Amino acid sequence: MTVAESVGSDFEAGEQSSLSLGTAAARNLATTTKSVPQMQAISSRWLLRTLPWIETKGGAYRVNRRLSYAVGDGRVTFTNVGSEVRVVPPELGELPLLRGFDDEAVLSALADRFVQQEFEPGDVIVEF
């Protein structure tokens, strides 16, 4: 069985085939796919999304936000600079004994009195 097809016969006979894309195919070609950065260490796109835009007279610049701590979450928060770890003074109000205590100077003085100690894995810290 042999079937002969003529390429131009449909066009000449008045039956025009669709020369445009369907709606779904056109939308697929019109939209772009944004991929996640492969290594966030070399790509700072994740950082740029988190920084706010500030309008200025000469252009638009981004400004870093200041770090703030949420007080009232039921946990004591610590900060670390290098190997030094410090308690955030207002966070001492999360302890049951100091709950509701608002004197910032006293909490700061109390936070300064804490001493950092290093322990190896397996060391006994407290024995009953």
List, as one string, the DSSP characters of 81-113.
Answer: ETTEEEE-GGGGGGSGGGTT---HHHHHHHHHT
Angle among Cα 69, 44, 40 to the nearest 5 degrees reads 90
Domains identified in the chain, total number = 1
Q: 32-81: per-residue pLDDT in tens? A: 766 665 555 555 666 767 777 766 677 666 666 666 666 677 788 888 88
pLDDT for res 108: 92
Q: Residue 83's domain spans which residues?
A: 78-112
Is 84 within the bounds of a domain?
A: yes
pLDDT for res 31: 76
Task: Please choose, from the candidates 38, 62, 42, the residue with its C-alpha nearest in 3D space to the C-alpha of residue 50.
Answer: 62
Mean pLDDT of all residues in 6-30 = 67
Q: 95-111: per-residue pLDDT in tens? A: 888 888 888 899 999 99
Stated as kind and residue range, the H or E segment containing 60 is strand 60-62
Is 62 within the bounds of a domain?
A: no
Task: Please choose, from the candidates 113, 112, 80, 110, the residue with its C-alpha nearest in 3D space to the C-alpha of residue 94.
Answer: 110
